[in-house]
Structure 1
Amino acid sequence: MTERIGILLSGGESRRFGSPKAFAEIDGEKFYERAYQALDAVCDRVVIVSHPELQPRFPMELDVITDLPAVAGQGPLAGILTAMTQRPGSCYIVLPCDMPFVTSAETARLVEQMDKTQNITAIRTPDARVPLFSIWKTGLQKALKKELEAGGRRVMVFMEKAGTAWLDSAVINGDSSVFRNINRPDE
């Protein structure tokens, strides 16, 4: 199996944003469309993990799934586990819909810079780590399931346990603002 799967996380509650971020727009494009394009450029297949109430809002031709019942609503780790379980692949590129400035150029550079010695490759800007723009190797499903069963929902905690290489964001794009996530409509 050599299939690279893109996981577009679009299931958050968007409480601070006030409406579903996936359908917010920048320059006439929805956030999810921008993220989808960034993943589609480097992946063999892209799966959108969303909330059941939002699923009908996506075009029917897209592969949209919801969390596995056992982990439903438990955040990004649940979405990643769901995609890994339902869409087997050799590796997974994760991108949340609320990072609409990441393009295919950044996803291609992340793939080029992947650390093959670690289970996860992610980036860090001068100000913070960016855990959800990352590459996850297959084989993490059991550890993810165990983490969620134990009540663990923090992505960074899991990433440290799993073994993560943190790349300097400058090797992906010199403008670290590209990697910010949008939490409010005025950002």
Structure 2
Amino acid sequence: MKTVGILLAGGMSRRFGSPKAFATWNNQFFYNLSYAALDRVCDDVIIITREELLPLFPKNLSLLIDDHRFSGDGPLAGIFTGMNNIKADQFVVLPCDMPFITSDELKRLMLYRSTGDIKAVKQGEIFHPLVSIWSGSLKEKIYQSLMSKNFSVMQFMSTVSTKWILADQISDNPASVFQNINKPL
């Protein structure tokens, strides 16, 4: 089974004030931390980013910008772009602004048995739809959603078989691990 990691690193970072992908924690860029987690559990990893950020990434990484039809249309467009450019049975999706997620959490999420289209993480009442595993068979449904101007990841997830995995089932310290960083550290 081919597994590809999709690292979403192209958001506008309005609240953050600068590109989150290049924020640092322990002298490492956020995108490096997330990339390392994906790289340990996936056959390939691709980074979806904005065109103006491309020159900031090392040239040896697989980089894509959103499909021109959906440029700037959010994370669902990024997921589609990844699926549309590389074939895989499943895609492990991770945003660059959750840098404390490690390969350990991703491995546990991958091992969690589910027959659904998407496995995603829920921590109490907080949903983390971008810490998830998507079936490669969803590409056409995502395309149709985007063409219909339905860009919400959560809305899309409600139209397919989504299994929510509790964060404490895949992490020993979910409160620390599943932090979405929206302000500089």
Counterpart CA distance in 2 for 1:10 and 1:149 is 22
Contact 1:47/1:64, CA 8 A, preserved across alignment: yes
Counterpart CA distance in 2 for 1:113 and 1:134 is 11
Cα deviation, residue 127, structure 1: 3.1
Counterpart CA distance in 2 for 1:81 and 1:179 is 24
Cα deviation, residue 176, structure 1: 2.1
Note the residue ranges of structure 1 that are not aligned, 5 or more in a row.
Answer: none
Q: Identify the residue that residue 142 of structure 2 maps to in structure 1.
A: 144
Note the residue ranges of structure 2 that are not aligned, 5 or more in a row.
Answer: none
The answer to whether residue 133 in structure 2 is matched with residue 135 in structure 1 is yes
Q: Identify the residue that residue 155 of structure 2 maps to in structure 1.
A: 157
Counterpart CA distance in 2 for 1:20 and 1:36 is 16
Secondary structure class of the residue paired with 2:180: coil
Q: Identify the residue that residue 6 of structure 1 maps to in structure 2.
A: 5
Counterpart CA distance in 2 for 1:87 and 1:179 is 27
Alignment of 1:40-119 (within 5 A): 40-115=39-114, 117-119=115-117
Secondary structure class of the residue paired with 1:151: coil
Q: Identify the residue that residue 167 of structure 2 maps to in structure 1.
A: 169
Q: Percent identity?
A: 43
Q: Identify the residue that residue 118 of structure 2 maps to in structure 1.
A: 120
Q: Which amino acid aligns with 1:42?
A: V
Contact 1:114/1:135, CA 8 A, preserved across alignment: no
The answer to whether residue 179 in structure 2 is matched with residue 185 in structure 1 is no
Q: Which amino acid aligns with 1:130?
A: H
Q: Which amino acid aligns with 2:91?
A: Y
- The root-mean-square deviation of aligned C-alpha atoms, in Å, is 0.9
Cα deviation, residue 114, structure 1: 4.3
Secondary structure class of the residue paired with 1:139: helix
Cα deviation, residue 111, structure 1: 0.8
Cα deviation, residue 174, structure 1: 3.2
**TM-score (norm. length: structure 2):** 0.97
Cα deviation, residue 34, structure 1: 0.2
Q: How many residues align?
A: 184
Counterpart CA distance in 1 for 2:141 and 2:163 is 18
Counterpart CA distance in 2 for 1:183 and 1:73 is 19
Structure 1 ranges of 4+ moved more than 6 A: none
**TM-score (norm. length: structure 1):** 0.96
Counterpart CA distance in 1 for 2:127 and 2:95 is 14
Counterpart CA distance in 1 for 2:37 and 2:106 is 6
Once the two structures are superposed, residues 70-115 of structure 1 have per-residue CA deviations (whole angstroms, 9 ceiling, x without a partner) of 1111000000000000011110000000000001111111111141
Cα deviation, residue 129, structure 1: 1.0
Secondary structure class of the residue paired with 1:13: coil
